[in-house]
Amino acid sequence: MELFDKSTLTTTIFLAALMSAVDGDIDKEEWNVIKQFIKLHWVPAFGDFKEAQSQIISHVKKLVHNPEALKKKVNQLVGILRPKLSMKQKEVLLNLVREVMMADREIDEQEEKLIDQLMQIMEVKKKEM
């Protein structure tokens, strides 16, 4: 059995893509982390990822330069996800976002704010990670 269903996996990937873009630059190393995650978790039964990818990129581009809309969207998505995710899934999501954040070896203030926001609304304490 897969760790994620298509909907929760797509949302998880979207949140990782937001982390990659929140500092204003989608870094190659950050995107490589996301691609590895996709290879591990996306299954053929979910269909072609390219379709989901184009939607994710389009939404990220709209949000990345609007901090208020970004914060609202993250709150909305995590509010939907939180009750659906097991603790294991939350840990995987937060670890992915953290790996993306650290992939370029630079931690931007916006990245820190986003990871803190995710942890708070996921109701996961730093010591649990």
Distances (CA, A) of 25 to 19, 102, 121: 10, 13, 25
- The model's pLDDT over 5-59, given as tens digits with 9 standing for 90+, comes to 999 999 999 999 988 888 777 789 999 999 999 999 999 999 999 989 999 989 8
- The model's pLDDT over 83-126, given as tens digits with 9 standing for 90+, comes to 888 989 989 999 999 999 899 888 888 888 888 888 887 777 65
Q: Mention every residue, 6+ apart, whose C-beta is less than 8 A from residue 10.
A: 52, 56
pLDDT at 129 over 60: no
- The model's pLDDT over 46-86, given as tens digits with 9 standing for 90+, comes to 999 998 999 998 988 888 888 888 888 888 888 888 888 89
Q: Spell out the domains of the chain, with CATH numbers in brackets.
A: 6-128 (1.10.3680)
Q: Which of 42, 58, 36 is nearest to 8 (CA)?
A: 42
What is the C-alpha to C-alpha distance for residues 102 and 33, in angstroms, rounded to an integer? 10
